[in-house]
Amino acid sequence: MKFISTLFSTCLLAVLSFQVTAEPVELDRVRVIVNDGVILQSDIDSATKTLTANARKNNQELPSDDILLEQILDKLILEKLQLQEADRIGVRIDDNRLSQSLSDIAANNEQTLDQLRQTVAAEGLSWEAFREQIRDEIAASEARNAMVRQRINILPAEVDNLSELLAKESDATVTYKIRHIQLRFNDGEDKSVQEKQAETIIDRLNKGEDFATLAYTFSKGPKALEGGDWGWMRKEEMPTIFADQINMQTKGTVIGPFRSGVGFHILKIEDVKGLETVSVTEVNARHILIKPTVILSDEGVKRQLNEIIQKVQSGEASFAEMAEQFSQDPGSAVQGGELGYQTPELYVPEFKHQVETLPVNQISEPFKTVHGWHIVEVLDRRDVDKTGSAMQNRAYRILFNRKFNEEASAWIQELRASAFVEW
């Protein structure tokens, strides 16, 4: 009996010991269902830590816990919906792109990547969780950009009207140094004679002849003996026939010939002060697009594109021949895949990233966009002076930003209204 009693006591102690060491630990749990996805308690905790850390850094007071939780849940729901859209249209943020974004974040905070890691750890977040949070934010942003851009329609007349208003504001500060050649009509003479002479002078100027010398030789204008030099003037100080022809052109621009009641005129802008200069990089690229089908999977498309790359690199076929044979972009396929010189902003985000970062004459790895799978080769890059159209570009950007913000809000509201959300 004593043995049985001792054995029973030992077993009881073992059970009690097990109960002490196996206290139940609350696992991560689902807080909100959003369509076919979920928001976990850990998502809420992570967002709360980030928000609290930012508020502390900026000495900002936060609202009460219940209001804060409501705001965080609303933000997470909208982010989840945008991530679902990103997944639906095929937005993928690879590790290289993510690493570059993290480096940019560190640089913006005047930190190294290691210092950013330490900051994240000090705020109670794991580096892995922070990386995935940034990946999700980039994907959601690109999905939003891609979907909202399709909803924006800007009429040329809108751009022209706003551009004129902006130009009037700028004209008050821009000054031009101009030269002038005037070919005067002679009584009873055929006016085509002066027109042909004006065109000849333009041709000589385009070939590099000196404007002042040609003004001394041919001009009948008031500044002929000064080489046609009118000096520095704002548009409001110029003769009307000059001001009507000058519209934000850059240094070195030759304008004309244009006609007035007294003859034909040619202007040259020797220099400009106070004018915003705009230079953009245009990229000439070529690509091959293949779209997945019910029969041809994503992996099958990637395999086919990799085979094309091998053929081109081995010299078995040229890129142009492969594009003409296989590319499903009809507009560029007939041009050997060539897209011509374009600004990267015209392309969808994944394609834009490739043409901006890919070395010249190197073929990319297969990558996916909303249009399908691509390989792309950058043929050339060039810097183009777009100052002459700077006001048009500025007007377009202003209109685009206005409409983008309006349409983005409407798009997000539509996503939220059509979503299944259960708390």
Closest CA to 309 of 285, 287, 331: 287
Q: Same structural domain for residues 63 and 122? A: yes
Asked if residue 16 is part of any domain, the answer here is no
Q: Same structural domain for residues 221 and 243? A: yes
Question: Residue 212, CB half-sphere, CA atoms under 13 Å: how many?
Answer: 8
Task: Domain count for the chain, please give it.
Answer: 3
On whether the CB atoms of residues 222 and 216 are closer than 8 A, the answer is no
Amino acid letter, 154: I
Asked if residue 182 is part of any domain, the answer here is yes
Supply the DSSP symbol for 345.
G
pLDDT at 406: 87
pLDDT at 387: 62
Bridge-based pairing state of the strands 263-273 and 372-385: unpaired
pLDDT at 186: 79
Q: Same structural domain for residues 142 and 253? A: no
Asked if residue 141 is part of any domain, the answer here is yes
pLDDT at 261: 86
Q: Same structural domain for residues 44 and 145? A: yes
On whether the CB atoms of residues 375 and 362 are closer than 8 A, the answer is no
Q: Same structural domain for residues 35 and 145? A: yes
Tokens at 195, concatenated: 């027109």
Q: Is 178 buried (19+), middle (13-18) or exposed (0-12) by CB count in 10 A?
A: buried
Q: Which CATH number goes with the domain that contains 35?
A: 1.10.4030.10
Asked if residue 132 is part of any domain, the answer here is yes
Q: Same structural domain for residues 180 and 241? A: yes
Q: Is 63 buried (19+), middle (13-18) or exposed (0-12) by CB count in 10 A?
A: exposed
Q: Same structural domain for residues 227 and 256? A: yes
3-state secondary structure of 210: coil
pLDDT at 12: 36
Amino acid letter, 272: V
Q: Same structural domain for residues 178 and 69? A: no
Q: Same structural domain for residues 202 and 120? A: no
pLDDT at 231: 93
Q: Same structural domain for residues 202 and 94? A: no
* Rg of the Cα atoms in the chain: 33
Q: Which CATH number goes with the domain that contains 313?
A: 3.10.50.40
Give the residue numbers spanning the domain of 57.
30-149
The answer, yes or no, to whether the previous bond of 366 is cis (omega within 30 of 0) is no
Asked if residue 97 is part of any domain, the answer here is yes
Q: Same structural domain for residues 39 and 144? A: yes
Asked if residue 124 is part of any domain, the answer here is yes
Q: Same structural domain for residues 251 and 340? A: no
- Final residue before a domain boundary, out of 255, 273, 291: 273
pLDDT at 16: 39
On whether the CB atoms of residues 43 and 51 are closer than 8 A, the answer is no
Each residue's pLDDT tens digit in the chain (423 positions)?
Answer: 444 344 334 443 333 344 444 445 456 788 889 999 899 888 888 888 888 887 887 888 888 888 888 899 988 999 899 999 998 988 889 888 899 999 999 998 899 999 999 988 887 788 998 898 899 989 999 899 989 988 999 999 998 888 888 877 766 678 999 999 999 887 767 788 889 999 999 999 999 999 999 999 999 999 999 999 999 998 888 888 998 898 778 889 999 999 998 899 999 999 998 876 667 889 999 999 999 998 999 999 999 999 999 999 999 999 999 999 999 999 999 999 999 999 898 899 899 999 999 999 999 999 999 899 999 999 999 987 666 566 787 888 889 988 988 899 899 989 999 989 888
Count of residues in the chain = 423
Q: Which residues of 287-326 are buried (b: 16+ CB within 10 A; e: fewer)?
A: bbbbebeeeeeeeebbeebeebbeebeeeeeebbebbbeb
- Final residue before a domain boundary, out of 236, 253, 273: 273
Asked if residue 3 is part of any domain, the answer here is no
Q: What is the secondary structure of 219-276 as a DSSP string?
A: --STTGGGTTEEEEEEGGGS-HHHHTT-SSPPTT-EEEEEE-SSEEEEEEEEEEESPP
Asked if residue 328 is part of any domain, the answer here is yes
On whether the CB atoms of residues 297 and 284 are closer than 8 A, the answer is no
